[in-house]
């Protein structure tokens, strides 16, 4: 298994290109199941999660053609062979559950294993199930699989979500495009990835209004057609690299970055003493003094502070002047990076959904363990600031969500390399 070795202390200067959003692509790819005609996605990130979704779709009979080294994907569902998403693939990634809505909508049946994914909480599927049942689906759990059918097809309905779940909103949105009549999703998630999915579905011929707000209205149509769609910029990769120069000095421009994708995050950076400037090409970031200031952070659904940037923010606050309180409201058990940061000299107390971070003057390199996707990158960021060498073990999580992390950081001056364990 690979490890990443970071030697701290070099200041970072230059540009980092930001890829297309993993979480958008993972919802856009299953949208192919809604149409017989091809869906072409551009700006697709090259990540292991994308390969997992490709394998899942291929197991259903979808033809996936990768062009330009994987940056462009042409998906065609004209000759489907199965409506069963097998445990062996689904267990690798929770987003596999996004085939449920489209399969039910076009094929009126689906058998989907309950997902696995990051070990950051229980992550059940009750919201997805309740919503699809309101649209006429019959869903039973047997042998770890959801057996779903909709004889005669799904029907439009009023679908209030008990929580603004990203995945449930995406599943219902896709399902509703081919349902009979009108579906109104209430308390819908408002993430940019939802807006991106709605835009792509509209390009395929769907009738959707209200994406990006809490109420999305979908008028079902008989069929969807072909489309070409560019994947939106990855706001989590963007936020991650925006933090890099805060750890070790310098000025970095994140190419493709837009303020509207990271508004709540930038407000916190400003309060912490970090300058963010919008340029023609993206966002430029520089720390104002020599040390960030402590700030309190609460994770919330979009437009609030994203849970997927909490670990990286915690790593930064470890070096801040003062004490910060981080509250994690989206996932229980999402502070597994805290004990690893403590191994590097951080002073963090975790209690339930709260972490109190007392800033220290410096961190020290140490061998640490990546426990989940965002935790792994937070340890790399901490390593950029730490004295000496930080070895981040178990980086397979990292490859799920960050393409070419070593190349992107070394191009702006970081000392970082990947080593293969014997």
Residue positions annotated with a catalytic role: 118
Q: What letter does residue 155 receive in the DSSP assignment?
A: B
Told to check if 172 binds ligand UD1 by CB under 6 A, we report no
C-alpha to C-alpha distances, 109 to 15, 101, 147, 282, nearest whole angstrom: 47, 9, 8, 44
Query: Which value, to the nearest 10 degrees, does the dihedral of the CA atoms of residues 288, 236, 401, 19 take?
Result: -90
Q: Least distance to ligand UD1 from the beta carbon of 291, Å?
A: 29
Told to check if 239 binds ligand UD1 by CB under 6 A, we report no
Told to check if 331 binds ligand UD1 by CB under 6 A, we report yes
Counting residues that bind ligand UD1 (by CB under 6 A) gives: 22
Among 9, 70, 121, 205, which residue sits at the site for ligand UD1 (rule: CB under 6 A)? 121
Please report how many Cα atoms fall inside a 13 Å half-sphere around the Cα of residue 225, on the Cβ side: 5
Residues 7-66 that bind ligand UD1 (CB under 6 A): 23, 26
Q: Cα separation of 385 and 366, whole Å?
A: 12
Among 4, 56, 125, 148, which residue sits at the site for ligand UD1 (rule: CB under 6 A)? 125
Closest CA to 392 of 378, 407, 411, 403: 378
Which of 121, 153 has the CB closer to ligand UD1?
121
Closest CA to 235 of 301, 191, 171, 285: 191
Neighbour-count burial for 286-303, b at 16+ CB within 10 Å, e otherwise = bbeeeebbbbebbbebbe
Among 20, 167, 192, 257, which residue sits at the site for ligand UD1 (rule: CB under 6 A)? 167
Q: Which stretch binds ligand UD1 (CB under 6 A): 10-18, 52-60, 117-125, 216-224?
A: 117-125
Told to check if 330 binds ligand UD1 by CB under 6 A, we report yes
Q: Cα separation of 331 and 329, whole Å?
A: 6
Q: Least distance to ligand UD1 from the beta carbon of 173, Å?
A: 12
Ramachandran bin of 289, using left for φ above 0, alpha for ψ from -120 to 50, beta for the remaining angles: beta
Closest CA to 185 of 198, 205, 171, 169: 169
Told to check if 76 binds ligand UD1 by CB under 6 A, we report no
- Using Cβ positions, the residue closest to ligand UD1 within the complex turns out to be 167
Question: Tokens 């008990």 identify what position?
Answer: 162
Told to check if 124 binds ligand UD1 by CB under 6 A, we report yes
Q: Which stretch binds ligand UD1 (CB under 6 A): 101-109, 120-128, 345-353, 382-390?
A: 120-128
Beta-strand (E) ranges in 191-330?
207-209, 215-219, 227-230, 250-255, 274-278, 282-287, 297-298, 323-327
Told to check if 128 binds ligand UD1 by CB under 6 A, we report yes
Question: Tokens 């869903």 identify what position?
Answer: 139
Which of 238, 385 has the CB closer to ligand UD1?
238
Q: Which stretch binds ligand UD1 (CB under 6 A): 159-167, 250-258, 315-323, 403-411?
A: 159-167
Question: Tokens 């599943």 identify what position?
Answer: 171
Told to check if 394 binds ligand UD1 by CB under 6 A, we report no
Residues 403-422 that bind ligand UD1 (CB under 6 A): none
SS3 86: coil
Helix (H) or strand (E) holding 369: strand 367-369
Q: Which stretch binds ligand UD1 (CB under 6 A): 125-133, 208-216, 221-229, 288-296?
A: 125-133
Q: For residue 313, what are the β-bridge partners? A: none
Q: Cα separation of 66 and 47, whole Å?
A: 13
Told to check if 123 binds ligand UD1 by CB under 6 A, we report yes
Q: Cα separation of 30 and 46, whole Å?
A: 17
Which of 123, 343 has the CB closer to ligand UD1?
123
Which of 79, 122 has the CB closer to ligand UD1?
122
Residues 298-317 that bind ligand UD1 (CB under 6 A): 307-308
Q: Least distance to ligand UD1 from the beta carbon of 123, Å?
A: 4
Interaction pattern, residues 93-112, with ligand UD1; x per rule: CB under 6 A:
-xx-----------------
Among 165, 183, 233, 310, which residue sits at the site for ligand UD1 (rule: CB under 6 A)? 165
Nearby residues of 200 by Cβ (< 8 Å), 6 or more positions away: 28, 31, 39, 41, 227, 229
Q: Cα separation of 123 and 117, whole Å?
A: 9
Which of 307, 371 has the CB closer to ligand UD1?
307
Which of 94, 268 has the CB closer to ligand UD1?
94
Q: Which stretch binds ligand UD1 (CB under 6 A): 82-90, 161-169, 317-325, 387-395?
A: 161-169
| Contact residues: ligand UD1, CB under 6 A | 23, 26, 94-95, 121-128, 163, 165-168, 193, 307-308, 330-331
């Amino acid at each position: 298994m690979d490890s990443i070795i970071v030697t701290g202390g070099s200041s970072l200067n230059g540009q980092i290109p930001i890829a297309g959003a993993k979480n958008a692509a993972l919802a856009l790819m299953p949208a192919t199941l809604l149409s017989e005609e091809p869906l072409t996605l551009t700006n697709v990130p090259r990540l292991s999660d994308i390969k997992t979704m490709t394998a899942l779709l291929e197991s259903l009979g979808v033809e996936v053609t990768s062009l330009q080294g994987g940056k462009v994907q042409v998906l065609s569902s004209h000759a489907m062979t199965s409506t069963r998403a097998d445990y062996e693939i689904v267990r690798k990634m929770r987003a596999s559950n996004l085939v449920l809505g489209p399969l039910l909508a076009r094929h009126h049946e689906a058998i989907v294993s309950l997902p696995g994914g990051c070990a950051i909480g229980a992550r059940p599927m009750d919201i997805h199930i309740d919503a699809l049942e309101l649209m006429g689906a019959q869903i039973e759990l047997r042998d770890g699989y959801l057996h779903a059918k909709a004889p005669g097809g799904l029907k439009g309905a009023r679908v209030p979500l008990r929580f603004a779940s990203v995945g449930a909103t995406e599943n219902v949105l896709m399902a509703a495009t081919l349902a009979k009549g009108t579906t109104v999703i209430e308390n819908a998630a408002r993430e940019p990835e939802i807006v991106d999915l709605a835009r792509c579905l509209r390009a395929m011929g769907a009738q959707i209004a209200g994406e990006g707000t809490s109420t999305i209205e979908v008028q079902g149509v008989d069929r969807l057609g072909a489309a070409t769609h560019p994947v939106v910029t990855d706001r989590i990769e963007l936020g991650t690299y925006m933090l890099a120069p805060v750890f070790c000095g310098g000025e970095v421009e994140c190419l493709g970055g837009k303020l509207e994708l990271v508004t709540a995050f930038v407000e916190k950076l400003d309060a912490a003493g970090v300058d963010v400037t919008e340029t023609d090409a993206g966002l430029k970031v520089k720390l104002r003094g020599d040390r960030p200031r402590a700030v309190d952070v609460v994770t919330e659904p979009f437009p609030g502070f994203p849970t997927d940037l909490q670990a990286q923010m915690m790593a930064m606050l470890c070096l801040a002047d003062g004490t910060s309180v981080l509250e994690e409201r989206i996932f229980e058990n999402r502070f597994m990076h805290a004990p690893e940061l403590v191994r590097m000299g951080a002073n963090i107390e975790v209690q339930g959904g709260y972490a109190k971070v007392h800033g220290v003057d410096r961190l020290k390199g140490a061998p640490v363990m990546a426990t989940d996707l965002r935790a792994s990158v937070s340890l790399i960021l901490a390593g950029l600031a730490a004295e000496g060498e930080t070895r981040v073990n178990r980086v397979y999580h990292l490859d799920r969500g960050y393409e070419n992390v070593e190349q992107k950081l070394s191009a702006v001056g970081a000392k970082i390399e990947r080593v293969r364990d014997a």
